[in-house]
């Protein structure tokens, strides 16, 4: 199947691609002359966790492809316990779609998967957007047991998407207001929904974070070989994957622009979707060898 008639994650039907013994759930919408833009999702997130305000504006100039990795949502199989193994599935998925090169938005865990993919096969991406993520050997990656995070995650009054408002946004009135708007946007999709991730997904993904914190040899050395124009984005008050990880990315990647947002946490791009999509669209539209845009 090719792109669908609707160009929003609120309405795009979920599709399934059979490849290498897997059935991968995905959504694909939009059209234009740009390369397809692959979205790789965060911890326990499914297709339904992509904010239409973040995905849809890209769809006017390119195909947007949202992807559930193995074992997530309605994608078959088990969630791998390493980022290296997770990276093989979107690679097979892109091969199955016949896409040799695309652009990518890798968010949180998805950014780590994107970094692993581009190391494994540099030609898979032209330009990369890495949001709220960390390089291998990064620090304080998704330690949900930290008291400040644990109390918000375990608060029984936070149900469903409400917990995202508490952990993706800061405590300011402006950020919490943006969080409410974010949840309203996610809730607009009412049919053809993904099952929420269960403890098996969370457990394997947490194991992958722990393994990703380890490094051998010179820390961050592998980043210097990645010359792809890259836009690194983070909220300055991210408690889940601290902004210092984005600093290390932009300092060590050969060709990266860093953009940080004020009064924002892990969900910075959901807090400022208009700014993010405007900046990212300008970045993707550039054809310079430099990431500067």
Quick one: DSSP state of residue 147?
A: H
Kind and range of the H or E run holding 182: helix 173-187
Across 31-159, the runs of DSSP E, i.e. the strands, are 37-40, 64-67, 102-107, 125-131
Contact between 292 and a copy of itself by CB under 8 A: the answer reads yes
Please state at what angle helix 109-120 crosses helix 199-212, rounded to 10 degrees.
60
Contact between 130 and a copy of itself by CB under 8 A: the answer reads no
Contact between 260 and a copy of itself by CB under 8 A: the answer reads yes
Among 16, 213, 236, 277, binds a copy of itself (CB under 8 A): 236
Stretch near a copy of itself under the rule CB under 8 A, chosen from 67-75, 144-152, 206-214, 259-267: 259-267
Among 261, 266, 280, 284, binds a copy of itself (CB under 8 A): 261
Contact between 220 and a copy of itself by CB under 8 A: the answer reads no
Nearer to a copy of itself, 5 or 173 (CB): 173
Among 65, 83, 105, 253, binds a copy of itself (CB under 8 A): 253
Contacts of 249 (CB under 8 A, 6+ apart): 130, 133, 134, 135, 223, 230, 232, 256, 258
How many other C-beta atoms lie within 10 A of the C-beta of residue 23?
13
CB of 282 to a copy of itself, least distance (A): 8
Size of the site for a copy of itself (CB under 8 A): 25
CB of 143 to a copy of itself, least distance (A): 20
Pairing of strands 64-67, 22-29: antiparallel
d(CA 62, CA 119): 24
Binding site for a copy of itself (CB under 8 A): 174, 236-237, 243, 247, 250-251, 253-263, 272, 275, 278, 290-293
């Amino acid at each position: 199947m090719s792109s669908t008639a609707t160009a929003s994650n609120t309405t795009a039907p979920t599709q399934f691609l059979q490849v290498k013994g897997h059935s991968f759930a995905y959504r694909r919408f939009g059209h234009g002359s740009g390369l397809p833009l692959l979205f790789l999702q965060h911890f326990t997130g499914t297709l339904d966790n992509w904010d239409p305000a973040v995905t849809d504006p890209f769809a006017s100039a390119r195909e947007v492809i949202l992807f559930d990795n193995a074992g997530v949502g309605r994608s078959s199989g088990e969630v791998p316990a390493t980022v290296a193994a997770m990276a093989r599935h979107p690679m097979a998925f892109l091969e199955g779609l016949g896409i040799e090169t695309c652009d990518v938005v890798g968010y949180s865990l998805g950014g780590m998967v994107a970094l692993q993919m581009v190391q494994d096969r540099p030609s898979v991406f032209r330009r990369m957007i890495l949001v709220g993520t960390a390089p291998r050997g990064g620090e304080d990656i998704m330690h949900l047991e930290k008291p400040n995070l644990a109390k918000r995650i375990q608060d029984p009054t936070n149900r469903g998407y409400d917990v995202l408002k508490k952990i993706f946004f800061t405590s300011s009135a402006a950020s919490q207001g943006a969080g409410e708007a974010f949840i309203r946007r996610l809730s607009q999709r009412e049919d053809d929904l993904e099952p929420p991730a269960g403890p098996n997904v969370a457990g394997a993904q947490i194991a992958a974070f722990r393994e990703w914190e380890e490094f051998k040899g010179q820390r961050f050395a592998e980043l210097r070989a990645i010359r792809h124009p890259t836009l690194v984005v983070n909220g300055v008050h991210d408690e889940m994957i601290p902004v210092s990880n984005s600093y290390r990315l932009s300092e060590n990647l050969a060709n990266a622009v860093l953009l940080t947002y004020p009064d924002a946490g892990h969900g910075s791009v959901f807090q400022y979707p208009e700014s993010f999509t405007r900046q990212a669209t300008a970045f993707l539209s550039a054809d310079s060898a430099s990431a500067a845009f």
